[in-house]
Amino acid sequence: MKRLTLSFDNGPFEGGTQAVLEALAERSLKSSFFLVGKQLTLPGARALAQQAKAEGHWIGNHTLSHDVPLGRGDAPNGHHVREIAGMDALLGNLKEAVPMFRPYAGKGILGQHVFSRCALELLRDTGHTVVLWNSVPRDWEQPADAWVARALADIDAQDWTAVVLHDRPNEAMTHLPRFLDEVLARGVEIRQDFPADCLPVVGGQQRNDTSALTGRN
């Protein structure tokens, strides 16, 4: 049986997050929301995150500012601490018992810009689970429904797909219900946990090689 794990990045977004939560609730599906600090501080955003958590979705750290990947050579001193620890502090009781962190990669492209050595060390020391992905259907591109076909193709090509979507209040997410119904009609199991090969660090313990994701600094 094919498996799919849903996740939504960069929120919370007024309007968009509510619509995603409604689509998931109508189908009794659970997901993860990886939040960005600059969004979480907007009026009403924390209430949206609390709603998601209350409805059984997992909440993760997707950096404080979502601006410079942690492994980029021009990242300022202390950037990793601010982006990881600063966002953890902002999340507060929204964090999971084992905190989850998803790095900012830039359009979902994985490479040595994603982490610095000191960033991974901090994540291990603070007991995080690092959550990656194997499907980025580019739901930010036009036409707004093109991501659906790309995501379905990824599901067809893999045993277990961990897809990254974005809960923005735009036309792309109006196609989420159709996507979910198509996935369910195909007999795909939609589950909340992530495939092991998308979890290089689990609860602070290194599980997979991260050399391809780590710069020198």
Q: What is the pLDDT of residues 96-110, one digit of tens each?
A: 999 999 999 999 999
Q: What is the pLDDT of residues 143-191, one digit of tens each?
A: 999 999 999 999 999 999 999 999 999 999 999 999 999 999 999 999 9
Q: What type of residue sits at position 192? A: Q
Half-sphere exposure of 38 (CA within 13 A, CB side): 7
Specify the pLDDT at position 80.
95
Specify the pLDDT at position 217.
65
d(CA 131, CA 192): 12
d(CA 80, CA 122): 8
Q: What type of residue sits at position 22? A: E
Specify the pLDDT at position 113.
96
d(CA 44, CA 79): 27
Neighbours of 97 (CB within 10 A): 6
Paired strand residues for 115 = 214
What sign does the CA torsion over 69, 71, 72, 75 have? positive
Structural domains in the chain plus CATH codes: 3-213 (3.20.20.370)
Paired strand residues for 58 = 32
pLDDT at residue 141 is higher than 80: yes
Q: What type of residue sits at position 38? A: K
Exposed / middle / buried, residue 5 (Cβ in 10 Å: 0-12, 13-18, 19+):
buried
Q: What is the pLDDT of residues 55-92, one digit of tens each?
A: 999 999 999 999 999 999 888 889 999 999 999 999 99
d(CA 18, CA 193): 22
Q: What does the mean pLDDT of the chain come to?
A: 97
Ramachandran sector of residue 129 (left: φ over 0; alpha: ψ -120 to 50; beta: rest): beta
Specify the pLDDT at position 216.
65
Q: Is 205 helix (H, G, I), strand (E, B) or coil?
A: strand
Specify the pLDDT at position 52.
98
**Mean pLDDT of all residues in 116-142:** 97
